[in-house]
Amino acid sequence: MKDLNVLQQFFYYFNENGSYVLSQFSRHFLISAYGVLFAAIVGIPLGILIARKRKLSRWVINAANVIQTVPSLAMLSILMLGLGLGVNTVIVTVFLYSLLPIISNTYTGMIQVDSTVLDVGKGMGMTRFELLFQVELPLSISVIMAGIRNALVVAIGITAIGSFVGAGGLGDIIIRGTNATDGTALILVGALPTALMAIAVDGFLGMLERRLDPASKVTKKS
């Protein structure tokens, strides 16, 4: 195999270990998705809360900003001391790094809803929950989706680093490539699917974000 060029080695590895690469691809995506999902469950309600109580917004967003200043490898190492090696450490890391884009985009989307529209809803006798679920969230969903999109793309990169703490995923293949004497092809086997995953996720969520944008719906109707 040494006398083959990098491209031949790349395809040879895929041919011989395609099922393993696919399983690591799925594992990588699921770790990223779970971390962002948990962040959305916490971050969206928190963004709604600080849009209601704007005095809290600076404190909450600044706290989420502080997390972003910690390098991802350092964060993994700190969390590993409490959670040990494995998937849970990476999911919590992804969760923490995903909070800022989700909280800030939810907050931005909520405060950008036209107050006139809210006044009309109130005039129709809508309750606070009806206004939230029938007016505010539908009008801000595209902005919230942009935050989730950014969080998931970043999460895919963080999960690759998570292989250093035994989480598996495509980063595991990249690490084995860096440790090999002639591991260029092996690095590509892990790196290219990781890049393609990020591009595909960004493209799909970007399309979904545009479809959910109220302005695009008005344009189509007109």
Does residue 122 lie in a domain region? no
Residuewise pLDDT in 10s, the chain (222 residues): 444 577 777 788 888 888 899 999 999 999 999 999 999 999 999 999 999 988 889 999 999 999 999 998 899 999 999 898 889 999 999 999 999 999 999 999 999 988 888 888 888 888 888 888 888 888 899 999 999 999 999 999 999 998 888 888 899 988 888 887 777 888 888 999 999 999 999 999 999 888 887 766 554 554
**Domain that includes residue 208, residue range:** 6-12+22-110+141-213
Domain count, the chain: 1
Domain membership of residue 164 (yes or no) is yes
Does a structural domain hold residue 126?
Answer: no
Is 131 part of a structural domain of the chain?
no
Whether residue 47 is contained in a domain is answered as yes
Task: Give me the CATH number covering residue 55.
Answer: 1.10.3720.10
Residue 196, in any domain of the structure: yes
Residue 130: inside a domain, yes or no?
Answer: no
What's the pTM value of the predicted model, to 2 decimals?
Answer: 0.89
Length of the chain: 222
Residue 94 lies in a domain: yes
Among 193, 116, 109, CA closest to 146: 109
